[in-house]
Amino acid sequence: MASKNQLYKRKIIRQLYFSNLLSCAELSQKIEKSLSLTTKILNELIAEGVVSETGYAPSSGGRRPVMYSLKSDFLYVVAVAMDQFFTRITVMDMQNQYVCPVQKFELRLLDNPKALPQLAENITAVIEQSGIDKTRIAGIGIGMPGFVDPQSGINYTFLPAKGESITGFISDKTGIPCYIENDSGIVGLAELRFGAARSKPNAMVINIGWGVGLGLILEGALFRGETGFAGEFSHIPLFDNGKLCSCGKSGCLETETSLFVLVEKAKEGIQGGKVTILKNFLSGKEEDLEKDAEAIIIAAGKGDSFAIKLLSEAGYNIGRGIAILIHLLNPGIVVLSGRGAPAGKIWQAPIQQALNEHCIPRLAINTEIKISTLGYEAELIGCAALVMENSGEIQIRSSRTQSKPAKTIRASK
């Protein structure tokens, strides 16, 4: 059992990770301990090579406080962002910078009994290639689609583990603690801690991808619901279109709004003779699904009317779903994040039109619609944050014992 001193150290590490820079007085308030005790613990962490002084705060009159931050190479986390078709894996430091290139693997989840062993092999390969000793890795954070129970480590939709938890299986294979969360919850966590929803007590984070997920932030924390399944925004039954959804029902929000559906509509439009630059870039092949979705967003950004129409129609329908959320939860902000976020302002006008038509003005007037600045990186950043959310389990080791320092090659934010 960890000593009180170790628990206080972990609290300080967690606060510095999420805030980046804090003074001793600010840390004292956040961990709810005396200034003298906080100073003592900070000095110990500095001596252990965990924390460093980073200068003084900007002047606001009076004596400027010394600011502290985590040393970036103190610990590392493995971030694993999954969707139904592809998995991205990287290693990140304590400043959320990549210390190795993001590696992308094709990993189909549906009806794939080998998906979990393949995932474990891919994670192991990335860790080995990074050259970082496993003792320097705080944990593995995984965001994945499906009905995910973070507490039991089980995904009831994908990655069958034959009676064992996903987290247990991967921890056994890698020797590193593992944590999982629904991909939209992960995106919500990233926006809450580092993005547009930071310091917002009540926010809805829309994860636009192969489905249309939702990260619910209520009273300053990620809301998972009774069994961890809250936020199945994709499956709100909005349409009488007879289209079968991936959940087995028909008429769900995702049947008219997901990027997968947009690619299908784009192919149909091209075949029907639509005038669009997409006919030069859309392959229509299943293996090029990701590139095709990106092509639609790029074409819309270049002013292609057909691509803009596809995104606008989807945006309007997403706005209808958001109107329901506003009526139920009265959020201060709705953040558009995930793979589809690079479409940017193209989403905003049709979403606002839908809110004007379907939302009570008194409720909608105080809800801001904002595009994520994290975009497609949100899930990787959220995976790292998931590990640090569980910082009570992190083993603190002096960075002076590190056998091989990692070289940061690219910042993620």
Domains and CATH numbers, the chain: 4-70 (1.10.10.10), 76-186+377-411 (3.30.420.40), 197-372 (3.30.420.40)
User: Sign of torsion, CA 289 290 291 297?
Assistant: positive
How do beta strands 86-92 and 103-106 pair? Answer: antiparallel
Q: Residue 215 above 50 pLDDT?
A: yes
Cα end-to-end span (Å), the chain: 36
Q: What is the pLDDT of residue 17?
A: 95
233-242, pLDDT tens digit by residue?
A: 999 999 999 9
- Buried b or exposed e, range 33-42, using 16+ CB within 10 angstroms: beeeebeebb
Average pLDDT over residues 59-70: 83
Q: Determine which of 104-108, 161-165, 270-274 has the lowest per-residue pLDDT on average.
A: 161-165
95 Cβ contact partners less than 8 Å away, ≥ 6 residues apart: 20, 70, 72, 408, 411
Structure tokens at 135: 């003792």
Average pLDDT over residues 11-17: 94
As a whole number of angstroms, the distance between CA 386 and CA 10 comes to 15
Residue-averaged pLDDT of the chain:
90
Could you tell me the pTM of the whole model? 0.89
285-333, pLDDT tens digit by residue?
A: 777 888 999 999 999 999 999 999 999 999 999 999 999 999 999 999 9
Q: Which residues pair with 335 in a beta bridge?
A: 205, 370
As a whole number of angstroms, the distance between CA 233 and CA 205 comes to 10
391 neighbors 10 (Cβ within 8 angstroms)? yes
As a whole number of angstroms, the distance between CA 363 and CA 331 comes to 9
Q: What is the pLDDT of residue 401?
A: 44
Alpha helices in 89-182 (DSSP H): 115-130, 166-174
Q: Determine which of 87-101, 131-145, 225-239 has the lowest per-residue pLDDT on average.
A: 225-239
Q: Residue 398 above 60 pLDDT?
A: no
As a whole number of angstroms, the distance between CA 165 and CA 161 comes to 6
As a whole number of angstroms, the distance between CA 399 and CA 132 comes to 12
C-alpha 115: how far from chain center: 21
Label residue 162 by pLDDT band (50, 70, 90): confident
Q: Determine which of 21-25, 282-286, 377-381, 391-395 has the lowest per-residue pLDDT on average.
A: 391-395
Q: Residue 54 above 70 pLDDT?
A: yes
How do beta strands 178-182 and 221-223 pair? Answer: unpaired
81 neighbors 209 (Cβ within 8 angstroms)? no
As a whole number of angstroms, the distance between CA 320 and CA 361 comes to 14
Helix 4-19 vs helix 378-389: crossing angle, to nearest 10: 160
Q: What percent of the chain has pLDDT over 90?
A: 79
